[in-house]
């Protein structure tokens, strides 16, 4: 993880909105969302479908920019960046873990894990060494020359996690990481997240599953594009208490 961790938060979201124009109609997916996430936190963002959590995930992942408001990631204001500038931020700061894994089917596990390093311009030899190390971390070094279709769902997601880790980003951003896995495999992945959290990684996990969010030390609940709860994962996920806005807020 990048150092320089001080009082300032890794992620600072201030009153961001995101408005889509669909067939002449305005859809307000985010209506002024604010929160902060510190280095080393493990946070779930939870909400029903249509709550705006996917939009928020895209904004946090620098795949989209907010219509208004300010998003600061690792000290950089990324809310008004160009596509190519955002590509650099995604490459350096964010490790994505997707529900559908999003591995390149024609490439081996190793080549998939190398991908972020390719776009960082790292020489092939070093790329290979770092990708191998990342695969070892997820216990998949022995499968690194297999293509995704030769791997089980859990193995695929672990390859995706290795890919997210390999470039040492400031945060891991996971979108429904267990959504396509059976419960036993899902559990395995959640345990891997817990280990990564233990090791000091910052994890942001977007999910609609209360059970998963309950495992996180902190959860933020979205509803209709607004933050309606923010507090310890168990409480927010299961609706215990009223930890609205205050607990982890800025």
Partner 1 sequence: MRAFLDNLRLALGTFFGNPLRSLLTLLGIVIGVATVITMMGLIEGLRLKVNNDLGRMGAHTFQVTKWPAGGFGRINWAKYAKRKPLEMDDVRAIEQSCPSVGVVAPTDDEGGQKIATAANETQPSVQVYGTQTNYTLTSGVSVQSGRYFNDVEALDGRQVVVLGTDVADVLFPGIDPVGHEVRIKGRPFRVIGVLQRRGSMLGMFSMDNQVMMPLRVFQQLYGKSRSLDIDVQAKDPELFKKAQNEVTTLLRRRRGVEANVPNDFEIHTNESVTASFNQLSIVITIAGIGVCLLSLVVGGIGILNIMLVSVMERTREIGVRKALGAKKRRILGQFATEAVLLALMGGAMGVGLGFGLVFLVDWVLRFPMSVPPWAVGLALVMSCGVGLLFGIYPAARAARLDPVEAMRAD
Residues near partner 1 (CB under 8 A) are: 58, 61, 63-64, 83-84, 87-88, 90-92, 96, 98, 102-106, 115-116, 118-121, 123-124, 163
Nearer of residues 104 and 199 to partner 1, judged by Cβ: 104
Backbone phi, psi, residue 228, to 5°: -110, -15
Nearer of residues 43 and 111 to partner 1, judged by Cβ: 111
Least Å distance, CB 230 to partner 1, is 25
Least Å distance, CB 116 to partner 1, is 5
Least Å distance, CB 249 to partner 1, is 28
Nearer of residues 34 and 102 to partner 1, judged by Cβ: 102
Nearer of residues 64 and 209 to partner 1, judged by Cβ: 64
CB 97 within 8 A of CB 134: no
Distances (CA, A) of 1 to 66, 166, 170: 26, 11, 6
Neighbour-count burial of 28, counting CB atoms closer than 10 A to its CB (0-12 exposed, 13-18 middle, 19+ buried)? middle
Least Å distance, CB 122 to partner 1, is 9
Nearer of residues 42 and 96 to partner 1, judged by Cβ: 96
Least Å distance, CB 169 to partner 1, is 10
Nearer of residues 90 and 130 to partner 1, judged by Cβ: 90
User: Between β-strands 11-22 and 25-37, what pairing exists: parallel, antiparallel or unpaired?
Assistant: antiparallel
Least Å distance, CB 22 to partner 1, is 14
What lies within 8 Å, CB to CB, of 174 at 6+ separation is 96, 97, 98, 164, 193, 203, 204, 205, 206
Q: Dig out the tokens for 160 from the structure.
A: 């995706």
What lies within 8 Å, CB to CB, of 120 at 6+ separation is 91, 92, 167
């Amino acid at each position: 993880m990048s150092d320089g961790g001080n009082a300032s938060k890794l992620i600072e979201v201030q009153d961001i909105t995101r408005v889509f124009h669909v067939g002449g109609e305005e859809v307000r997916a985010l209506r002024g969302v604010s929160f902060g996430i510190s280095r080393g936190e493990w946070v779930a963002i939870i909400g029903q479908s249509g709550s705006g959590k996917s939009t928020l995930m895209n904004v946090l992942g620098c795949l989209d920019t907010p219509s208004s408001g300010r998003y600061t990631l690792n000290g950089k204001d990324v809310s008004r960046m160009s596509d190519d500038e955002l590509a650099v931020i995604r490459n350096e700061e964010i490790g994505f873990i997707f529900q559908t894994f999003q591995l390149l089917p024609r490439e081996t596990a190793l080549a998939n894990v190398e991908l972020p390093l390719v776009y960082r311009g790292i020489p092939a030899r070093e790329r290979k060494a770092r990708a191998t190390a990342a695969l070892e971390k997820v216990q998949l070094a022995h499968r690194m020359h297999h293509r995704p279709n030769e791997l089980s769902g859990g193995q695929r997601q672990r390859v995706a996690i290795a890919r997210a880790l390999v470039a040492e980003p400031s945060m891991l951003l996971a979108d429904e990481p267990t959504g396509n896995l059976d419960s036993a495999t899902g559990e395995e992945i959640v345990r891997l997240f817990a280990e990564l959290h233990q090791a000091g990684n910052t994890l942001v996990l977007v999910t609609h599953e209360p059970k998963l969010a309950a495992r996180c030390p902190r959860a933020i609940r979205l509803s209709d594009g607004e933050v309606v709860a923010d507090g310890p994962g168990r409480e927010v996920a299961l609706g215990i208490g009223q930890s609205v806005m205050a607990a982890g807020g800025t």
